[in-house]
Amino acid sequence: MSFRDYLSEARQIFDKLYPNNQITEVDYEGPTIVVYTKDENLFSKREDLAKQIAQEMRRRIAIRPDPSIMMPEKEAEDQIKSIVPEKAGLQDVYFEPDTGEVVLEADEPSIITSRNSDLIVQIKSATKWSPRVVRAPPINSRTVKEMREFLRDVKQERKEFLHKLGEKLNIPPMPGETWIRITALGGHREVGRSSTLVSTNNSKVLVDVGMLNSNDIDEQPWEGAPYLYLPEVQPFSSIDAVVLTHAHLDHSGLLPILFKYGYDGPVYMTQPTRDLSALLQNDYIKVAHAEGHKAPYESKHIREMLKRTVVLRYNETTDITRDMRLTLYNAGHILGSSSVHLHIGDGLYNIVLSGDVKFEKSWLFNPANNKFPRVETFMTESTYAGRDDYFYTRTDASNTLIDIVNRTFERGGSVVIPVFAVGRSQEVMLVLEQAMREGMIKNVPVYVDGMIMEATAIHAAYPEFLNKGLRESIMIKGENPFLSPIFKKVETREQRQNICDSVDNQIVLATSGMMNGGPVMEYFKSWCESPKHTLVFVGYQADGTLGRRIQRGAKELTLSDGGKLSKFQIKMSIEVAEGFSGHSDKKQLLAYIATMQPKPHRILVNHGDGEKCYEFAKLIRNKYGIEGIALKNLETVRVY
Ligand SMILES: [Zn+2]
């Protein structure tokens, strides 16, 4: 069988449609064929042309200026700064060599883009870079900045990687009988260490590589890990692609382990998921070390992951193996969270893995998408699919929290809220800010400890992923709730100690969300023996976590304290504010399925404590007459 030579095919079509095109190079960049040209005039037509060629070849095409005609970055930056007037408030200029774009972050973008100004044209003709003007994010994220610098440093390595990936993607599928299987590697009939393998006669794709609970991993990396030593995924170099639904560590936490043990293929995810997972994984290593544990991977393995990360926008379809196409859809759970749609073969079969989903508009996001072009097998989470899992509304949630804070303040105590750095903490911040602004609770400092502010800054860097109302207010400095002076970042051990020792009313938001270590433990240990203080849970507490034990009413705990073990009596008030969850409750999950388009033939249920997966699968069978299955870890189902 002869392979199609896509690169020369693209060049031929280009020559036919646009002679004298001054093409200098045609190359693979992952799933995209990139055409470089020295012809400046071509850029005005490039979108139409790329579309036309893409249609003819059924491949993604991008047309870019040849780097040799573009002004060097430093020079171009100076040039741009001299062109843009001061009143535009230009904050940052950065280059995206991948697309030939230069991004201008300004306080007043309209001054640059206004129709009566020719600033865009001036910049373009002086530098040959295409300017894209955006409003400067109101909070600066260190992660976003470092990520840009890192990607610039590894540009050449990425180019080579994407070239090889493109070659691999264009090898035609093997002929013969087609089969499709789904294998449960982790997070099935349990919450934590999510990992699922989709394999066909042509490819192996892993969705998520999470950890059970970060405090269980320690020096035995395989203990809280998904079943990664199966022949199906060994050696790791036999895996074709990895897809990440979202950044929470129970989905992303052990992904770098693949790179430590030989995987060197692509990882697909949204841009915020990339930034947030790198932040959380690095923080996980730091917290593990601080507690005298050894993390199962190092930051260099996170960097290896980032070098091979291909970011996708929602609703954008990409070839990820020679017989599979991937589209990510909004899952409404946390920033950048996605449901994974896999299209296998040419119109042969479709699988959707929901990831963690919120099927309700939240303070931060739009509800999860449940309309797909096609879907035969659907896999859903069931964290709150139990018989009694009906949530309180968002209004109930904020009223409960306000009431708890007021009662605690009246008796002279302080409130500590364990939160995940990403998701719940931003929602709780929005509720507290509004409550203080409207005088529902006393104006006191809200201390934010452990990566929360940085995670919040990443939210501000990706407003297009937020719901409309928040997107609009977050971009206006005067109205951005996250910039309220009530929020104080805790940066040093001394600062933390002062807060713990203070007798004033205070509110603390601290990680980790399930009390598996992290700064929240310091506040807890300082305050747990006094009945005036309150610990408020706003998120899910998984089996086996300290948070779950406390929520269940533990009266005494032995915890490590300054290197030795000490006993703590729990006398503080333990409360739960329901309704903050980033997951769907049973009613929302059923509504998701009932209004899903099209209807799947089979539903697999995962991501729920033991019986919940099984019970929910049974309910699906009875209620909708759809085949409902709750796989156990290590089980495989053949779906085609
Ligand atoms: Zn999650």
Report the alpha-carbon distance of residue 2 to residue 134 in Å, rounded: 47
* Domain membership flag for residue 145: no
Cα dist. 302→47, 117, 152, 283, 286 in Å?
A: 35, 44, 16, 11, 13
Alpha carbon of 115 to those of 66, 106, 120, 376: distances in Å? 28, 17, 10, 48
Cα-to-centroid distance, 16 and ligand 1 (Å): 50
Assess contact for 235 and 262: CB atoms under 8 A: yes
Report CA(356)–ligand 1 centroid distance (Å). 5
pLDDT at 600 over 60: yes
pLDDT-wise least confident of 432-441, 480-489, 527-536: 480-489
Supply the range of the domain harboring residue 78. 73-136
Q: Same domain, yes or no, for 38 and 58?
A: yes
- 78 and 48 in a common domain: no
Q: What is the DSSP letter of 535?
A: E
- Name the domain boundary from 53, 68, 83: 68
Strands (E), 286-423: 309-311, 317-321, 324-330, 338-344, 349-353, 377-381, 415-418
Look at the chain and report how many structural domains it folds into. Answer: 4
**Token digits of residue 326:** 């991937």
- Cα 449 to ligand 1 centroid, rounded to whole Å: 20
The answer to whether residues 271 and 143 touch, using CB atoms and an 8 Å cutoff, is no
Q: Decide: 368 and 341 in contact? Cβ < 8 Å.
A: no
Q: Is the dihedral of CA 428, 434, 437, 441 positive or negative?
A: negative
Distance 132 CA to ligand 1 centre (A): 33
Handedness of CA 534, 540, 543, 545 (dihedral sign): negative
Q: pLDDT value at position 311?
A: 93
Please tell me the distance between residue 540's alpha carbon and the centre of ligand 1 in angstroms.
Answer: 10
198 and 284 share one domain? yes
Per-residue model confidence (pLDDT) at position 53:
86
Range 101-113 average pLDDT: 88
Measure 518 CA to ligand 1 centroid, in angstroms: 18
Rounded distance from Cα 385 to ligand 1 centre (Å): 15
Residue 54 sits in the same domain as residue 106: no
Is 602 a member of any domain?
A: yes
pLDDT in tens, 124-178: 888 988 888 888 877 888 998 899 889 889 988 998 999 999 999 988 888 889 9
Q: Please tell me the predicted confidence (pLDDT) of residue 2.
A: 46
For ligand 1, the distance from its centroid to the CA atom of residue 199, given in whole angstroms, is 24
Cα 534 to ligand 1 centre (Å): 25
Q: Average the pLDDT over each of 293-297, 390-394, 454-458 and give the range with the smallest value.
A: 390-394
CA 272–ligand 1 middle distance (angstroms): 14
* CATH number of the CATH domain containing 529: 3.40.50.10890
**553 CB burial (10 A radius; 0-12, 13-18, 19+):** exposed
How far apart are the CA of 378 and the centre of ligand 1, in A?
A: 18
Q: How far is the CA of 21 from the centre of ligand 1 (A)?
A: 48
Average pLDDT over residues 34-51: 80
Which pair of tokens denotes residue 377?
A: 């097998």
Distance CA 607, CA 454 (A): 28
**Of the residues 545, 560, 576, the one at which a domain ends:** 576
Residues 568, 535: contact at Cβ < 8 Å? no
Ligand 1 geometric centre to CA of 305 (Å): 20
CA of 509 to the centre of ligand 1 (A): 18
pLDDT at 171: 86
Residue 323 alpha carbon to ligand 1 centre in Å: 29
Instruction: Give the residue with greater pLDDT, 465 vs 215.
Output: 465
CATH for 104: 3.30.300.20
Structure tokens given for 558: 């032995």
Residue 14 maps to which CATH number? 3.30.300.230
**What is the 512 CA–ligand 1 centroid distance (Å)?**
14
Distance of CA 281 to the CA centre of its chain: 12
Sign of CA dihedral 515, 521, 524, 529: positive
Q: What is the CATH number of the domain that holds 333?
A: 3.60.15.10
Query: Pick from 528, 551, 576: which residue ends a domain?
Result: 576
Q: And the tokens for 288?
A: 């593990």
CA separation for the pair 273, 247 (Å, rounded): 5
- The answer to whether 374 and 599 are in contact (CB under 8 A) is no
Question: CA–CA separation, 514 vs 224, rounded Å?
Answer: 15
User: Smallest Cα–Cα separation from 420: which of 331, 525, 539, 524?
Assistant: 539
**What distance in angstroms lies between residue 248's CA and the mean position of ligand 1's atoms?**
5
> What is the distance in A from the centroid of ligand 1 to the CA of 555?
29
- Domain assignment present for residue 150? The answer is no
> Does residue 53 sit in the same domain as residue 95?
no
State whether 229 and 360 are in the same domain: yes
Q: State the first-to-last Cα distance of the chain, in angstroms, to the nearest integer.
A: 26
Query: Tell me, what DSSP letter sits at residue 466?
Result: S
Q: Ligand 1 centre from 250 Cα, in Å? A: 7
Around ion ligand 1, residues with a beta carbon closer than 5 Å are: 248, 356
Structure-derived torsion over alpha carbons of residues 126, 131, 137, 140, reported in degrees to the nearest 10: -60
Q: Measure 380 CA to ligand 1 centroid, in angstroms.
A: 13
| DSSP state at residue 371 | B
Cα angle 474-478-482, degrees, rounded to a multiple of 5: 45
634 pLDDT more than 50: yes
What is the sign of the dihedral through the CA atoms of 365, 151, 319 and 323? negative
Do 232 and 355 lie in a common domain?
Answer: yes
For residues 219 and 247, state if they share a domain.
yes
What is the Rg, in whole angstroms, of the alpha carbon atoms belonging to the chain?
26
Residues 207 and 329 in one domain: yes
Compute, in angstroms, the gap from residue 246 CA to the centroid of ligand 1: 7
- Name, in order, each residue with C-beta under 8 angstroms of 503's C-beta and a sequence gap of 6 or more: 412
Measure 81 CA to ligand 1 centroid, in angstroms: 42
Q: Does residue 170 fall inside a structural domain?
A: no
Q: In whole angstroms, what is the distance from residue 352 CA to residue 475 CA?
A: 33
Report residue 1's pLDDT band, with 50, 70 and 90 as the boundaries: very low
Measure 139 CA to ligand 1 centroid, in angstroms. Answer: 24
Residue 322 has pLDDT above 80, yes or no: yes
What is the Å distance from ligand 1's center to 14 Cα?
45
Using CA atoms, how far apart are residues 313 and 164, in angstroms rounded to an integer?
22
List pLDDT tens digits, range 437-446. 999 999 999 9
pLDDT tens string 411-433: 999 999 999 888 888 999 999 99
What is the Cα–Cα distance from 594 to 15, expressed in whole angstroms? Answer: 51
Q: What average pLDDT score do residues 91-115 get?
A: 85
At 388, phi and psi to the nearest 5? -105, 15
Instruction: Indicate if 492 and 454 belong to the same structural domain.
Output: yes
The partner residues of 343 in beta bridges, in order of sequence, read 325, 350
Q: Is residue 427 part of a domain?
A: yes
Ligand 1 centre and the CA of 194: distance in Å?
10
Identify whether 173 is part of a domain: no
Quote the ligand 1 centre to 109 CA distance (angstroms).
35
- 469 found inside a domain: yes
Q: 355 CA distance to ligand 1 centroid (A)?
A: 8
Q: Which of 112-121, 309-318, 595-604, 619-628 has the lowest mean pLDDT?
A: 112-121
Check residues 29 and 543 and name the one with the higher pLDDT.
29
332 alpha carbon to ligand 1 midpoint, in Å? 10
* C-alpha of residue 455 to centroid of ligand 1, in Å: 15
CA of 130 to the centre of ligand 1 (A): 37
Let me know whether 268 and 294 are in one domain.
Answer: yes
Burial of 185 (0-12, 13-18, 19+ CB in 10 A): buried
Whether residues 307 and 219 fall in one domain: yes
